[in-house]
Structure 1
Amino acid sequence: MSDSVEKPANSALVLFSGGQDSATCLAWALARFERVETVGFDYGQRHAVEMQARLDVRDGLAEVLPGLADRLGPDHVVDLTGYGRIADSALTADRAIEMDARGLPTTFVPGRNLVFLTCAAALADRRGLGVLVGGMCETDSSGYPDCRRETIDAMERALGLGLDQPVVIETPLMALTKAETWALAHDLGGEALVGLIVEASHTCYRGDREHRHAWGYGCGDCPACELRAAGYGEWAGRP
């Protein structure tokens, strides 16, 4: 007999890094599911600011989305530092951010979303949460292969086979540009949610929380900052 808990369709587990995309996904999930929990992953990121951003965004959402605050349940953190050591990248070690021989940025952490989804599916199984929600996007990203729709579809099938029950992975940003992601955040929570994402979320690969831009904090020239800045500029109608 399976030890898994019955998973209601009106519950979700959000893969939550504290960045712009996962913050938007968390707001999206709160608008759609009656019970929402979050999970973060400590995989040896160079910058602890990411883990703090998770807490700041979660706390802020209760203020900017007060009508949905009672839907937000516990947060979970999974220790994956061992994995981070073997999946060496510019996000886990002091390496230059550049393109590698495969044409992928050195910020690519091999198999990161595959590991995250496997852990999240196991947690959701035990917590009785019906849907996984992730901020993967293949439209406006750094070209990571584990963010592609094809990869997520394959993981959904593999996890379903491995757990012997359907696994649903929702990726609301998959086909959106960064400008459309800003627009979605505005649709979900207006200026208050956009302001929270600007101030509290963290995307910069260099962990820069000193330089404040219209779109938030960051170095301004790493790939993550460039995508976020360009998307914000397009959405806000600014150069």
Structure 2
Amino acid sequence: MSEIDPNRTKSALVLFSGGQDSATCLAWALERFDRVETVGFDYGQRHAVEMQARLDVRDGMVKVLPQWADRLGPDHVVDLTGYGKIADSALTAERAIEMDERGLPTTFVPGRNLVFLTCAAALADRRGLEVLVGGMCETDYSGYPDCRRDTIEAMAQALSLGLDKPVVIDTPLMHLTKAQTWELADRIGGAALVELIVEVSHTCYLGDREHRHAWGYGCGDCPACELRAAGHAEWAAGQ
């Protein structure tokens, strides 16, 4: 990852779900950009806890990173519930979490990141925001083809053509492991930011906010929890 460029662009729109990855990306963006806004998507996900986590993480972020609190601008929510109904998955319907006939997890929402990026690019255009920031990661990803670097680069090109202007998509976690994502959060905001991510962010596919682990709340068994737990254990072992 490159050092902070003093001639960097000045504004960013963070695709913000309220999970570990997007929380880390929000902190990363606040460190780098003078103006940062967030956008979330209500696509009919089964667990409303995700939408609440977004608000709680944003509120906590200005407290644990007060030096950049004035950089955090408005939050936006896009209603994509109609899309969620056609993109049937274990995240939007009562389905078992397993591998499908294509070898993809049933938590895969077809085209989700493509739709999110399109909506975010349109919003950024109208808001005058220069960079889209997303938490997509192909190193530790859960089998989602729309998290791959090739997909994101192709989307940037398509959006640039469609909007007749350069569209920059920054994915700071793309080549990081989950352990390195914890390390990045620690570097940016120290123990306070790590604690915020542990206590407030939400990643569990089953929406579990009852069981508290060293790495945060979750069922501990779904793929998202397993990735988060393994990454935290690896990071903690190196402290």
Matches within 5 A, 1:53-132: 53-132=53-132
Taking the aligned partners of 1:126 and 1:155, their CA distance within structure 2 comes to 19
Taking the aligned partners of 2:141 and 2:165, their CA distance within structure 1 comes to 31
Indicate yes or no: 2:187 matched with 1:187.
Answer: yes
Partner of 2:76, secondary structure, is strand
Partner of 1:39, secondary structure, is strand
Match of 2:5 in 1: none
Indicate yes or no: 2:234 matched with 1:234.
Answer: yes
Q: Which runs of 4+ in 1 moved over 3 A?
A: none
Query: Which ranges of structure 2 fall in alignment gaps of 5 or more residues?
Result: 1-7
Q: What is the CA distance between 1:39 and its match in structure 2? A: 0.0
Q: What is the CA distance between 1:141 and its match in structure 2? A: 1.2
Match of 2:160 in 1: 160
TM-score under structure 2 length normalisation: 0.96
Taking the aligned partners of 1:160 and 1:234, their CA distance within structure 2 comes to 39
Match of 1:5 in 2: none
Partner of 1:70, secondary structure, is helix
Partner of 1:77, secondary structure, is strand
Q: What is the CA distance between 1:143 and its match in structure 2? A: 1.2
Q: What is the CA distance between 1:147 and its match in structure 2? A: 0.1
Corresponding pairs, count: 231
Match of 2:3 in 1: none
Taking the aligned partners of 2:133 and 2:112, their CA distance within structure 1 comes to 15
Amino acid at match of 1:225: C
TM-score under structure 1 length normalisation: 0.96
What RMSD, in angstroms, separates the aligned Cα atoms of the two structures?
0.9
Match of 2:209 in 1: 209
Percent identical across equivalent pairs?
A: 84
Matches within 5 A, 1:160-179: 160-179=160-179
Cα deviation 1:133-180 (Å, max 9, x = unaligned): 000000001010000000000000000000000000000000000000
Match of 2:35 in 1: 35
Query: Which ranges of structure 1 fall in alignment gaps of 5 or more residues?
Result: 1-7
Match of 1:4 in 2: none
Q: What is the CA distance between 1:9 and its match in structure 2? A: 2.5
Cα deviation 1:54-111 (Å, max 9, x = unaligned): 0000000010000000000000000000000000000000100000011110000000
